């Protein structure tokens, strides 16, 4: 059996929208669950989604432990051997408190790819295949969550520029790339999270991309 680790934030964890707000979508509704269904019994999908997780930034407001780079190595070592890793991070880096550019957010992904390359967490202590997923752009309005407007001020414009920066980093590190924004849109409910249909579409798109990794 092959094993794939899904390392992401609240959209990997499955934060709900609309009438499901403040709840978690069921396992088979979240994109990692859809991925599991698509890949079948020959794969084991490990969900490692954490709300608020960044690429490399300790969050001084919500918790320093949200730094994705701090937990990645122990996570890889815990679940090894891993045939593949899906990196789906970057949305929380758009928060105004971090004041980073789209290029710097992509460089955060590069730092995570370096950790994976050094982890010896693949089969035979090798390197697992990696799929980098650039998050869909956030929206310029936040619907039922006006409190997010200040938190993500300027984030919409930055999010539109992430995909080419992510693709450049993925190519430089020999990772596969998927632009989620070409497949789905963020929810009008809060401008950040994913509606159920978007979760399903993303899971199917990631499954198609994983099938080309050559694991």
Give me the mean pLDDT over the 18-34 stretch. 95
Check whether the bond before 128 is cis (ω within 30° of 0): no
CATH-assigned architecture of domain 2-210: 3-Layer(aba) Sandwich (3.40)
Residue 22's pLDDT band (cuts 50, 70, 90): confident
Given a cut of 90, whether residue 21 has pLDDT beyond it is no
pLDDT, position 120: 98
DSSP string, 22-40: TSB--TTTSHHHHHHHHH-
Q: What is the per-residue pLDDT across 100-138, written as a single tens digit (0 to 9) for each?
A: 999 999 999 999 999 999 999 999 999 999 999 999 999
Place of tokens 């632009």: 179
pLDDT > 90: what percent of the chain?
99
- Taking the domains of the chain in order of start, what are their residue ranges? 2-210
Q: Read off the pLDDT of residues 145-182 as tens digits, 9 standing for 90 and up.
A: 999 999 999 999 999 999 999 999 999 999 999 999 99
Q: Are 79 and 46 in contact (CB under 8 A)?
A: yes
Q: What is the mean pLDDT of the chain?
A: 97
Q: What is the pLDDT, as a whole number, of residue 34?
A: 98
- pLDDT over 90 at 81, yes or no: yes
C-alpha span between 88 and 130 (Å, rounded): 11
Q: Cα torsion at 188, 195, 134, 111 (round to 10°)? A: 110
Share of the chain above pLDDT 70, in %: 100
Distance between CA atoms of residues 184 and 17, nearest Å: 15
- The CA R_g of the chain, rounded to the nearest whole Å, is 16
pLDDT in tens, 7-19: 999 999 999 999 9
Q: Mean pLDDT across the stretch 55-62? A: 97
For residue 20, the model assigns a pLDDT of: 92
Concatenated DSSP letters of 165-177: HHHHHHHHTT-EE
* pTM attached to this predicted model: 0.97
């Amino acid at each position: 059996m092959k094993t794939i680790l899904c390392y992401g934030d609240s959209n990997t964890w499955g934060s709900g929208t609309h009438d499901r707000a403040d709840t978690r979508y069921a396992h088979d509704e979240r994109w990692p669950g859809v991925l599991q269904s698509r890949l079948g019994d020959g794969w084991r999908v490990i969900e490692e989604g954490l709300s608020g997780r960044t690429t490399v930034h300790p969050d001084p407001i919500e918790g320093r432990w949200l730094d994705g780079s701090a937990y990645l190595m122990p996570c890889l070592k815990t679940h090894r051997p891993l045939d593949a890793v899906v990196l789906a991070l970057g949305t929380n880096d758009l928060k105004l408190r971090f004041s980073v550019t789209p290029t710097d957010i992509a460089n955060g992904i590069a730092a995570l790819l370096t950790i994976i390359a050094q982890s010896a967490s693949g089969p035979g202590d090798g390197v697992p295949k990696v799929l980098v997923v650039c998050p869909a752009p956030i929206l310029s309005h936040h619907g039922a969550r006006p409190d997010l407007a200040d938190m993500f001020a300027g984030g919409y414009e930055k999010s539109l520029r992430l995909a080419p920066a992510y693709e450049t980093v993925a190519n430089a590190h020999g990772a596969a790339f998927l632009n989620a924004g070409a497949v789905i849109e963020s929810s009008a409910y809060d401008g950040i999270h994913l509606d159920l249909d978007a979760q399903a579409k993303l899971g199917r798109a990631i499954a198609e991309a994983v099938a080309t990794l050559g694991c």
